[in-house]
Amino acid sequence: MSTLDDWLMEAGRSLALPPGPIPADLRNELLDLTRDVAHGVARVAGPLTCYLVGVAVGRGAAPGAALAALTDLVKARTTDADTGPAGAGTHEKES
């Protein structure tokens, strides 16, 4: 087991979550979303976005659907920023 997997299992136990690792595909999608948000929106928005995915899943959303919705949102925001007038972004990036 990797350090990441060990950490996730230990953190899950500490939060009284059901045992078992996060499936690799879901974990990778969360990490990709975090990276894309951090680079395309603001660095601090990355981990908070993952938190929002967790809240949505905790309230009954399917993990894949929650990830897809926010992945589409960040792609739309970064695409809009890239195509704005004279390179002006439509969102705020962290310096």
Instruction: Say if pTM beats, i.e. exceeds, 0.85.
Output: no
pLDDT single digits (tens) 11-68 = 999 989 888 778 889 999 999 999 999 999 999 999 999 999 999 999 999 999 999 9
Query: Token pair for residue 67?
Result: 């990830």
Is the separation of the CB atoms in 32 and 75 below 8 Å?
A: no
d(CA 32, CA 30): 5
Instruction: Indicate the SS3 state at residue 89.
Output: coil
d(CA 95, CA 85): 20
Is the separation of the CB atoms in 90 and 77 below 8 Å?
A: yes
Is the separation of the CB atoms in 66 and 79 below 8 Å?
A: no
